[in-house]
Protein backbone atom coordinates (compact mmCIF):
# COMPACT_ATOMS: atom_id res chain seq x y z
CA UNK A 1 0.00 0.00 0.00
CA UNK A 2 1.18 3.48 -0.86
CA UNK A 3 1.42 6.19 1.79
CA UNK A 4 -1.43 8.70 1.83
CA UNK A 5 -1.55 12.36 0.96
CA UNK A 6 -4.12 14.62 2.63
CA UNK A 7 -4.86 18.35 2.42
CA UNK A 8 -5.86 20.51 5.40
CA UNK A 9 -7.60 23.52 3.82
CA UNK A 10 -7.60 25.77 6.92
CA UNK A 11 -6.04 25.80 10.40
CA UNK A 12 -9.57 25.39 11.82
CA UNK A 13 -9.78 22.02 10.03
CA UNK A 14 -6.46 20.68 11.37
CA UNK A 15 -8.15 18.79 14.28
CA UNK A 16 -9.87 16.53 11.69
CA UNK A 17 -6.51 15.14 10.57
CA UNK A 18 -4.20 12.93 12.60
CA UNK A 19 -0.71 14.27 11.89
CA UNK A 20 1.26 11.91 14.12
CA UNK A 21 3.86 9.91 12.21
CA UNK A 22 3.30 12.04 9.10
CA UNK A 23 5.26 14.67 7.22
CA UNK A 24 3.44 18.01 7.38
CA UNK A 25 4.16 20.62 4.70
CA UNK A 26 3.24 24.16 5.76
CA UNK A 27 1.89 26.25 2.86
CA UNK A 28 1.47 30.02 2.97
CA UNK A 29 2.27 31.06 -0.59
CA UNK A 30 1.42 34.77 -0.07
CA UNK A 31 3.87 35.13 1.50
CA UNK A 32 5.36 33.50 4.64
CA UNK A 33 6.55 30.22 3.17
CA UNK A 34 7.79 31.90 -0.02
CA UNK A 35 9.74 34.40 2.06
CA UNK A 36 11.22 31.64 4.23
CA UNK A 37 12.50 29.76 1.16
CA UNK A 38 13.94 32.92 -0.38
CA UNK A 39 15.73 33.95 2.83
CA UNK A 40 17.27 30.53 3.48
CA UNK A 41 18.29 30.09 -0.16
CA UNK A 42 19.93 33.51 -0.02
CA UNK A 43 22.07 32.45 2.92
CA UNK A 44 20.11 33.18 6.09
CA UNK A 45 21.39 30.82 8.79
CA UNK A 46 18.03 30.20 10.43
CA UNK A 47 14.50 31.52 10.75
CA UNK A 48 12.73 31.27 14.09
CA UNK A 49 8.95 31.44 13.65
CA UNK A 50 7.12 33.05 16.56
CA UNK A 51 3.44 33.75 17.21
CA UNK A 52 3.36 37.37 18.38
CA UNK A 53 4.81 40.72 17.36
CA UNK A 54 5.95 41.26 20.97
CA UNK A 55 7.81 37.95 21.08
CA UNK A 56 9.48 38.76 17.75
CA UNK A 57 10.65 42.17 18.99
CA UNK A 58 12.12 40.61 22.14
CA UNK A 59 14.72 38.89 19.91
CA UNK A 60 15.90 42.11 18.23
CA UNK A 61 19.69 42.37 18.64
CA UNK A 62 22.98 42.37 16.71
CA UNK A 63 22.57 38.66 16.03
CA UNK A 64 18.85 38.59 15.15
CA UNK A 65 16.90 40.44 12.48
CA UNK A 66 13.19 40.74 13.15
CA UNK A 67 10.77 40.23 10.28
CA UNK A 68 7.09 39.83 9.54
CA UNK A 69 3.71 41.40 8.91
CA UNK A 70 0.25 41.90 10.22
CA UNK A 71 -2.63 42.17 7.73
CA UNK A 72 -0.19 42.19 4.83
CA UNK A 73 1.94 45.14 5.99
CA UNK A 74 5.32 45.32 7.79
CA UNK A 75 4.84 45.42 11.57
CA UNK A 76 6.10 48.47 13.45
CA UNK A 77 9.71 48.33 14.62
CA UNK A 78 10.55 45.38 12.37
CA UNK A 79 13.72 45.18 10.22
CA UNK A 80 11.87 43.46 7.35
CA UNK A 81 8.32 42.90 6.12
CA UNK A 82 7.09 39.73 4.48
CA UNK A 83 8.10 40.18 0.84
CA UNK A 84 10.61 37.68 -0.58
CA UNK A 85 12.22 40.59 -2.47
CA UNK A 86 13.45 42.14 0.79
CA UNK A 87 15.54 39.07 1.60
CA UNK A 88 18.41 39.46 -0.88
CA UNK A 89 21.76 37.78 -0.34
CA UNK A 90 23.37 41.16 0.42
CA UNK A 91 21.26 41.76 3.50
CA UNK A 92 20.43 38.26 4.72
CA UNK A 93 23.53 36.09 4.24
CA UNK A 94 24.80 34.64 7.52
CA UNK A 95 21.99 36.22 9.54
CA UNK A 96 19.52 34.71 11.98
CA UNK A 97 15.94 35.89 11.51
CA UNK A 98 12.85 35.89 13.75
CA UNK A 99 9.60 35.86 11.76
CA UNK A 100 5.93 36.38 12.67
CA UNK A 101 3.11 36.57 10.14
CA UNK A 102 -0.70 36.75 10.14
CA UNK A 103 -1.18 33.14 9.10
CA UNK A 104 1.83 31.00 8.25
CA UNK A 105 3.96 31.06 11.39
CA UNK A 106 1.00 30.02 13.58
CA UNK A 107 0.60 26.86 11.51
CA UNK A 108 4.16 25.75 12.17
CA UNK A 109 3.41 25.76 15.89
CA UNK A 110 0.05 24.03 15.40
CA UNK A 111 1.79 21.15 13.57
CA UNK A 112 4.28 20.33 16.33
CA UNK A 113 3.00 16.74 16.78
CA UNK A 114 4.02 15.80 13.24
CA UNK A 115 6.89 13.45 12.50
CA UNK A 116 8.53 16.15 10.42
CA UNK A 117 7.62 19.72 9.43
CA UNK A 118 8.66 21.08 6.03
CA UNK A 119 8.04 24.38 4.28
CA UNK A 120 6.42 24.50 0.83
CA UNK A 121 6.28 27.26 -1.77
CA UNK A 122 6.47 27.48 -5.56
CA UNK A 123 10.11 28.49 -4.98
CA UNK A 124 11.04 24.98 -3.80
CA UNK A 125 8.33 22.85 -5.44
CA UNK A 126 10.55 20.31 -7.22
CA UNK A 127 13.07 19.80 -4.43
CA UNK A 128 10.21 19.28 -1.96
CA UNK A 129 8.44 16.80 -4.25
CA UNK A 130 11.69 14.83 -4.73
CA UNK A 131 12.11 14.62 -0.96
CA UNK A 132 8.49 13.54 -0.32
CA UNK A 133 8.65 10.87 -3.02
CA UNK A 134 11.91 9.48 -1.63
CA UNK A 135 10.81 9.55 2.03
CA UNK A 136 7.79 7.32 1.25
CA UNK A 137 5.86 8.58 4.32
CA UNK A 138 2.27 9.83 4.61
CA UNK A 139 2.05 13.52 3.79
CA UNK A 140 -0.27 16.23 5.11
CA UNK A 141 -0.37 19.44 3.07
CA UNK A 142 -1.36 22.11 5.56
CA UNK A 143 -2.72 25.32 3.99
CA UNK A 144 -2.41 28.40 6.20
CA UNK A 145 -5.23 30.26 4.43
CA UNK A 146 -6.11 33.84 5.38
CA UNK A 147 -7.29 34.34 8.96
CA UNK A 148 -8.49 30.73 8.96
CA UNK A 149 -10.45 31.16 5.72
CA UNK A 150 -9.69 28.72 2.89
CA UNK A 151 -7.74 30.46 0.12
CA UNK A 152 -7.06 29.87 -3.53
CA UNK A 153 -3.26 30.12 -3.67
CA UNK A 154 -2.48 27.65 -0.88
CA UNK A 155 -5.06 25.15 -2.15
CA UNK A 156 -3.70 25.47 -5.69
CA UNK A 157 -0.17 24.77 -4.48
CA UNK A 158 -1.38 21.73 -2.51
CA UNK A 159 -2.89 20.55 -5.80
CA UNK A 160 0.45 20.88 -7.58
CA UNK A 161 2.16 18.81 -4.87
CA UNK A 162 -0.54 16.14 -4.93
CA UNK A 163 -0.40 15.87 -8.71
CA UNK A 164 3.36 15.35 -8.49
CA UNK A 165 2.87 12.63 -5.83
CA UNK A 166 0.19 10.73 -7.76
CA UNK A 167 2.51 7.80 -8.49
CA UNK A 168 4.17 7.55 -5.08
CA UNK A 169 1.14 8.28 -2.86
CA UNK A 170 -2.62 7.64 -2.78
CA UNK A 171 -5.72 9.34 -1.38
CA UNK A 172 -9.45 9.21 -0.83
CA UNK A 173 -10.03 12.87 -0.10
CA UNK A 174 -12.43 15.47 -1.44
CA UNK A 175 -10.08 18.39 -0.68
CA UNK A 176 -7.43 16.63 -2.81
CA UNK A 177 -9.91 16.17 -5.69
CA UNK A 178 -10.82 19.87 -5.50
CA UNK A 179 -7.20 21.00 -5.44
CA UNK A 180 -6.45 18.87 -8.51
CA UNK A 181 -9.33 20.56 -10.36
CA UNK A 182 -7.83 23.96 -9.53
CA UNK A 183 -4.48 22.89 -10.96
CA UNK A 184 -6.14 21.82 -14.18
CA UNK A 185 -7.89 25.17 -14.42
CA UNK A 186 -4.77 27.17 -13.52
CA UNK A 187 -1.92 25.37 -15.19
CA UNK A 188 -1.81 27.34 -18.44
CA UNK A 189 -1.09 30.53 -16.51
CA UNK A 190 -1.10 30.06 -12.72
CA UNK A 191 -0.16 33.69 -11.98
CA UNK A 192 -3.05 34.99 -14.03
CA UNK A 193 -5.33 32.41 -12.41
CA UNK A 194 -4.43 33.73 -8.97
CA UNK A 195 -5.43 37.31 -9.79
CA UNK A 196 -8.91 36.00 -8.80
CA UNK A 197 -7.65 35.29 -5.27
CA UNK A 198 -8.78 37.68 -2.55
CA UNK A 199 -5.16 37.98 -1.41
CA UNK A 200 -4.14 39.21 -4.86
CA UNK A 201 -6.90 41.82 -4.68
CA UNK A 202 -5.69 42.81 -1.20
CA UNK A 203 -2.16 43.28 -2.59
CA UNK A 204 -3.54 45.53 -5.31
CA UNK A 205 -5.37 47.69 -2.77
CA UNK A 206 -2.10 47.99 -0.78
CA UNK A 207 -0.33 49.09 -3.99
CA UNK A 208 1.70 45.86 -4.23
CA UNK A 209 1.73 44.76 -7.88
CA UNK A 210 4.92 42.72 -7.66
CA UNK A 211 4.77 40.02 -4.98
CA UNK A 212 2.13 37.83 -6.61
CA UNK A 213 4.26 37.30 -9.69
CA UNK A 214 7.42 36.91 -7.61
CA UNK A 215 5.90 34.20 -5.40
CA UNK A 216 4.85 32.24 -8.50
CA UNK A 217 8.43 31.76 -9.79
CA UNK A 218 8.59 27.97 -9.86
CA UNK A 219 11.83 26.55 -8.42
CA UNK A 220 13.51 29.96 -8.08
CA UNK A 221 14.84 28.99 -4.62
CA UNK A 222 15.43 25.23 -4.67
CA UNK A 223 15.99 24.69 -0.97
CA UNK A 224 14.56 21.98 1.30
CA UNK A 225 13.42 23.66 4.51
CA UNK A 226 12.89 21.74 7.77
CA UNK A 227 11.73 22.81 11.20
CA UNK A 228 14.30 21.60 13.75
CA UNK A 229 14.91 22.73 17.34
CA UNK A 230 12.38 25.56 17.01
CA UNK A 231 14.13 26.92 13.92
CA UNK A 232 13.63 26.65 10.19
CA UNK A 233 16.85 25.66 8.46
CA UNK A 234 18.05 24.63 5.03
CA UNK A 235 18.41 20.83 5.12
Report in angstroms the alpha-carbon separations of 205 from 73, 114, 198, 202. Answer: 12, 37, 11, 5
Query: In this chain, which of 18, 73, 113, 181 binds its own copies, going by CB under 8 A?
Result: 181
Smallest distance, its own copies to C-beta of residue 6, A: 10
- Could you say whether residue 185 binds its own copies (CB under 8 A)? yes
18: contact with its own copies by CB under 8 A: no
* Residue 191 binds to its own copies (criterion: CB under 8 A): no
Q: Which is nearer to its own copies, 36 or 152 (CB)?
A: 152
Q: How does DSSP classify residue 149?
A: B
Task: Using CB under 8 A, pick the residue from 42, 48, 105, 151 that binds its own copies.
Answer: 151
**Strand 225-228 to strand 231-234: parallel, antiparallel, or no bridges (unpaired)?**
antiparallel
Q: Is 192 in the site for its own copies (CB under 8 A)?
A: no
Neighbours of 235 (CB within 10 A): 14
Contact between 150 and its own copies by CB under 8 A: the answer reads: yes
Q: Measured from the CB of residue 184, what is the shortest distance to its own copies in angstroms?
A: 7
Residue 196 binding its own copies, by CB under 8 A: yes
Establish if 12 lies at the interface with its own copies (CB under 8 A): yes
Sheet holding 116-120, edge to edge: 5-8, 139-143, 23-27, 116-120, 225-228, 231-234, 46-49, 96-100, 64-70, 73-74
Question: In the bound complex, what is the minimum distance in angstroms from residue 154's beta carbon to its own copies?
Answer: 9
Q: How far apart are CA 142 and CA 131, in angstroms?
A: 17
CA pair distance 107, 110, nearest whole angstrom: 5
Q: Are 191 and 153 in contact (CB under 8 A)?
A: no
Q: Which residues bind its own copies (CB under 8 A)?
A: 9-10, 12-13, 15-16, 146-152, 155, 172-175, 177-178, 181-182, 184-185, 196-199, 201
Amino acid sequence: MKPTVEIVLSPLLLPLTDIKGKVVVIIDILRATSTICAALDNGAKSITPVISVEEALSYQSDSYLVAGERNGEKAEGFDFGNSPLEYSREVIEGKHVVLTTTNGTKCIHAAKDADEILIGSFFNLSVLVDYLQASNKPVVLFCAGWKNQVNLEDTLYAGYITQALSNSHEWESDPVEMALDLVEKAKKDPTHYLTRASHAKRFKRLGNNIDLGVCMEFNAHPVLVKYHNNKLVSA
